[in-house]
Chain A
C-alpha cells in the first residue's frame, strides 16, 4: 500500500522559517505535491517535485529525495495568513489523477 506521514501540527512565529516534513512508503509514484487548505476550504496547489532536489516558488520551496523516501515544504518569511493545513500528496503511476494525501500538518503562525 501507500502511506505518507507528516507531523500533525507545527507552530512558528511571524517572519520565521518553518519546514514541514513528509515521509512516504509507496512505489511507482510520479511526483510529490504540496497543497494548502484554509479552514476546510479548497486545497490549493503550492508546489510539485517530479525530480529529486529543490523547487522554489516565491516564499515556498519544496524538496524531494526519492532515495530517502522523504520530502519537505519550506515556508519562509512566515505571515499570519500562512496559518493553514498543509498536505503532501503523491501521484501514482498509471492511475490517472489519483492523488494519495498525507494526514496534513496544521501550521499555526503566532505574532
Chain B
C-alpha cells in the first residue's frame, strides 16, 4: 500500500510569491495534518483537516491556508512568501483525526525562498 505522498519534493520560490503544496493521505485515512519543520528543530503544527473541515490551527499567520478535498487529499497554500518560510513541509495522515491515533508522515516538500 502506498504511504502518504507529497508533491512537489523540492521547490524554489522568491519572496512575495505564492506556493501550493499537495498531499495524498494513506488510503482509508480521512484526516490530514500539516507541519512545518525548520532545519534543526522539531515539526510545528500548522493545520489539521478532517472530512474537509478544519479541526485545528497552529500559531501561523493568515498567509497560511489549507483545504481538504472530497477524496481526502489536501493542499497547503502560502501567500506572500518570506525568507523565513524556507522549511520542510510535512503532511501526516490518520484514520479519523482522533487524538489517540498514530499519525503517518509523508516525505515532505522542501521549500526554499530566495
How far is the CB of A27 from the nearest CB of chain B, in Å? 14
**Are B42 and A101 in contact (CB-based, < 8 A)?**
yes
Interface residue range, chain B:
35 or more
Q: Decide yes or no whether B74 CB sits under 8 A from chain A.
A: no
Q: Which residues of A are found within 8 Å of B18, using beta-carbon distances?
A: none
Q: Decide yes or no whether A41 CB sits under 8 A from chain B.
A: yes
Taken together as a complex, chains A and B put the C-alpha atoms of A44 and B4 apart, in Å, by 11
Which chain A residues numbered 29 to 72 have a C-beta less than 8 Å away from chain B? 30-31, 33, 35, 40-45, 48, 50
**With A96-B98, A99-B45 as contacts: A41 and B108 at CB distance below 8 Å:** yes
**Are B56 and A97 in contact (CB-based, < 8 A)?**
yes
Q: Decide yes or no whether A87 CB sits under 8 A from chain B.
A: yes
**Are A50 and B100 in contact (CB-based, < 8 A)?**
yes
Encode contact with A along B56-99: 1 for CB under 8 Å, 0 otherwise: 10100000000000000000000000000000101010100111
Binding site for B on A (CB under 8 A): 4, 30-31, 33, 35, 40-45, 48, 50, 87, 89, 91-104
Query: Across the A-B interface, how many residue pairs have beta carbons closer than 8 Å?
Result: 84
In-complex Cβ contact of B42 among A30, A50, A87, A94 (8 A):
A87
Taken together as a complex, chains A and B put the C-alpha atoms of A100 and B56 apart, in Å, by 13
Q: Decide yes or no whether B24 CB sits under 8 A from chain A.
A: no
**Are A103 and B90 in contact (CB-based, < 8 A)?**
no
How far is the CB of B105 from the nearest CB of chain A, in Å? 5
Q: Which residues of B are found within 8 Å of A31, using beta-carbon distances?
A: 100
Ordered nearest first, which 7 A-B pairs have the shortest CB separation?
A101-B42, A96-B55, A42-B105, A43-B105, A42-B107, A97-B33, A97-B48
* Further 11 A-B residue pairs, CB within 8 A, beyond A99-B45, A99-B103: A30-B99, A41-B107, A42-B90, A42-B107, A89-B42, A95-B99, A96-B48, A96-B50, A96-B97, A96-B99, A97-B99
Taken together as a complex, chains A and B put the C-alpha atoms of A4 and B44 apart, in Å, by 12
30 pairs of residues in contact across A and B, judged by CB atoms under 8 Å: A4-B42, A30-B99, A33-B102, A40-B108, A40-B110, A42-B4, A42-B108, A43-B43, A43-B90, A45-B102, A50-B100, A89-B42, A95-B99, A96-B31, A96-B33, A96-B55, A96-B98, A97-B31, A97-B50, A98-B45, A98-B58, A99-B33, A99-B45, A99-B92, A100-B45, A101-B44, A102-B42, A103-B40, A103-B41, A103-B42
